[in-house]
Amino acid sequence: MSAIRGRLLQFESRLQALVEGNVARFFPEQYSPHDLAWRLAEAMRTEIRIGANGDLLAPNLFVFSVHEQHALALQAEMTSLEDLAQILYAAGLAEGFQFVRPPIIRLAISTDIALGDIRVSEQHSIENLPDTAGIEHSRSDA
C-alpha cells in the first residue's frame, strides 16, 4: 500500500505544478492553486480503486460545488475547466493511473458553500457522459 501512497503523493506534486503553471490564472483569486490541486488529489485519493490485475483505476467525474457567484465566473471560463481536466488526465497517466475515459469536470451551485469555498467530489462514471459541462444546482444533504 505504501507504493500506492507514493504514487499518489507524486501525482499530487505533479498536479500542483501543472495547475500553478497553467490554469490557476483563470480561477477566482479565492481559490489558491495549491488548494485546488490538493483538493483534486484528495478526491483522487478517496476514490482510487485497485483493479483485478493491480492497476490503479482513477475516478473520472469530478464536480466542483461552489457559491453561485463563483459558479458564474467559472462558467465564463469553461475552457479553463477543460484544461484542468486535461491536466488531471495527463498527471494521472504519468503516474500509471487508468481511467475508464478522460476526466470530466462539472460545476454545481451549492446553497451550503460559502463564498470563496469549493468542494470537490468524485466518482467513477458510467460510459457515454457528455464532456466537461456547465452548472448544476445542488442542495445541501444536511
Q: Provide the angle, in degrees to the nearest 10, between the axes of the packed helices 68-75 and 78-94.
A: 80
**What's the pLDDT band for 29 if we cut at 50, 70, 90?**
low
DSSP state of 101: S
- Residue 17: other Cβ atoms inside 10 A: 14
Q: What is the pLDDT of residue 61?
A: 93
Q: Which residues pair with 108 in a beta bridge?
A: 65, 136
> Tell me: the pLDDT tens digits for 79-107?
778 888 898 999 999 989 999 899 998 88
What the block records as the C-alpha cell of 79 is 475552457
Please tell me the predicted confidence (pLDDT) of residue 24: 60
Alpha-carbon torsion 119, 2, 51, 87, what sign?
positive
**How far is C-alpha 88 from the geometric centre of its chain's CA atoms?**
7
**Residues 30 and 70: beta-carbon distance below 8 Å:** yes
